[in-house]
Amino acid sequence: MVLVIQYLTTNLKALELECDVTVLPIAPLLLWDGDSAKPDLCSEPNAKLTGKDLVKIQSLFRTIDFDKNGTISHDELAAVLGGAAQGVFDEVDSNEDGEISEDEWTTHFLEVKQECGTKVSEYRIAHFERTIMVQDMMRSVIKDAEQMHHLLSS
């Protein structure tokens, strides 16, 4: 909680000084639990993605693809995951073209489900969802602070 307060204080100070406000990808730090909740690996080589899985995976892809060009760039993934993005990006970008296609994204989650099990796959999807939710909340707080600053300084 102290981290969040310091982060918001720094951005509010930037508003006072009329500097740019930066939304840092701090959600992974806020959500990290030392992997205590991460389920054990359990190979399921014949596992398939369910319709529910596909809906969530496709929704995550569209959310992370900020510029809506049909691929996820390293910068777009880093905006969500911060420093953890490089390893994840390299893992998912199977053709190594510097972009993650929706097919690569979906294939990655299928491979996670088959190699690590349903519980790990669900955990990873939920982690992305929570990370994006926290990032959106932080952006909203900063936007509200910017609006309040503008109102108070008018």
Instruction: Give per-residue pLDDT as tens, 39-48.
Output: 788 889 999 9
Q: What percent of the chain has pLDDT over 70?
A: 74
Buried b (16+ CB within 10 A) or exposed e, 5-30: eebeeebbebbeeeeebebebbbbeb
Q: How confident is the model at residue 141 (pLDDT cuts 50, 70, 90)?
A: confident
Q: How far is CA 134 from CA 24, 117, 144, in A?
A: 11, 26, 15
Residue 87 confidence (pLDDT) above 80: yes
**113 phi and psi, to 5 degrees?**
-65, -40
Of the candidate ranges 76-80, 98-102, 117-121, 137-141, the one whose mean pLDDT is the lowest: 137-141
Tell me how crowded residue 58 is: count the other CB atoms within 10 A of its CB.
13
Q: What is the mean pLDDT of residues 62-79?
A: 94
pLDDT, tens digit (0-9, with 9 covering 90-100), for 2-36:
555 665 666 566 656 666 555 555 555 455 555 55
**How far is Cα 1 from Cα 3, in angstroms, rounded to an integer?**
5
**What pLDDT shows up at residue 101?**
98
**How far is Cα 85 from Cα 49, in angstroms, rounded to an integer?**
23
Q: Please report the domains of the chain, with CATH numbers, ordered by start residue.
A: 2-153 (1.10.238.10)
Q: What is the mean pLDDT of residues 72-84?
A: 85
- List, in sequence order, every residue forming a beta bridge with 72; answer none if it has no partner: 100
Which residue pairs from 146-150 have beta carbons closer than 8 angstroms and sit at least 24 positions apart in sequence?
A: 146/15, 146/21, 149/12, 149/15, 149/16
- Global pTM reads 0.72
